[in-house]
Each structure stands twice: as structure tokens, then as C-alpha cells.
Amino acid sequence: MLVLERLWVIAAFVFIASGLVDSLDGLLARHQGRVTTFGAFLDSTLDRLAEGVILGAIGITFAQDGIDWAVGACFVALTASFLVSYARARAEGLGIPGSSGGLMGRPERLVIVGACMFMGSVGDVTPVLMGVLAGLSLITAGHRVALVWSASDGRGE
């Protein structure tokens, strides 16, 4: 809602605060010995939901401003972000280690999205950063696919 109201700096602070809480909840659960399989699943699922909502809200602001290429960049960034996460999860499910490589893991994506929000009212910085996020996330998704292909000897196993 803050992004849609273009309260960029406040939205960025809320985004960063929620990211810190998200990273601390897993740490706290491990410290208290309360880690569960469902908890890990729920955390990952809610992470994807949050990323989708934020990128969607930023995309809506681009659409309202008539910046069509930036709306497309949001769609690409969102899709690539999900592919990056899915490729890692699927590879781990198949027992293929080392599938978390690439430039744009979740922490790196969060940094760029946070920068997008902080710079939301500064010229064309936010659309350009969204384009960077989209491109690097696509490269990362491709890199993870290549890692899994290599680990499976490219035999489609």
C-alpha cells in the first residue's frame, strides 16, 4: 500500500524492517530448537508471496506512470525471481547439491528492491534498477539450470 501511495522512503523502511524480522525468525527458531519442516516451508512460501506483492506494487506504479518497459521488467524480475528460488528448491529435492549459485540470490534481490523503493522518487532510477534486477535474475536462473545440468552430466536425469 505504501508503494502504491508512493510513500517510497517509508515503504523502504518497512520493507527493510520486515526483511530483518524475516531473517531473525529462523535464527530464533534454531536457537530455541523449534525448527520444523513446515516452518521452513511456510517461511519460503511467505518470502515468495512478499516478493511478488512488492514487485507487483512497483509494477503498478510503473503502469500508472505509463512506463511500459519497466512494467515488463517487473514481470521478468518476478518470474526470474521465482525461477531462481524454484530451481534451487527443485535441485535440492532431487538431491543435487550446489544449486544455489549465481549473482541474484534472495539477499541480493532484496537489496536491489530496497534500493528501488528508496530511490522511488528520483527520476528514472527505479525503472532502471528494475531492469537490472530482471536481467541479473534471469542470468542467475539460467546459471542454476546450468549447474543442475552439469551435476546431472546433462543426461536429463
| pLDDT tens digit sequence for 88-114 | 888 888 888 767 777 888 888 888 999
Q: What is the pLDDT of residue 154?
A: 66
Q: What is the pLDDT of residue 122?
A: 84
DSSP tag of 103 = S
Q: What is the pLDDT of residue 44?
A: 85
Closest residue by Cα to residue 77 from 103, 96, 51: 51
Asked about 47 being catalytic, the answer comes back as yes
Q: What is the pLDDT of residue 49?
A: 92
Residues of the chain predicted below pLDDT 70: 98, 154-157
The catalytically annotated residue of 43, 47, 68, 153 is 47
Q: What is the pLDDT of residue 156?
A: 55
In the chain the domains, ranked by start, together with CATH numbers, are: 8-151 (1.20.120.1760)
Q: What is the pTM assigned to this prediction?
A: 0.86
Provide the H-helix boundaries in the chain. Answer: 8-31, 37-65, 68-93, 106-118, 125-151
Report CA dihedral (41, 146, 109, 126) to the nearest 10 degrees.
-140
Cβ atoms of residues 109 and 137 within 8 Å: yes
Q: Which amino acid is at 147?
A: L
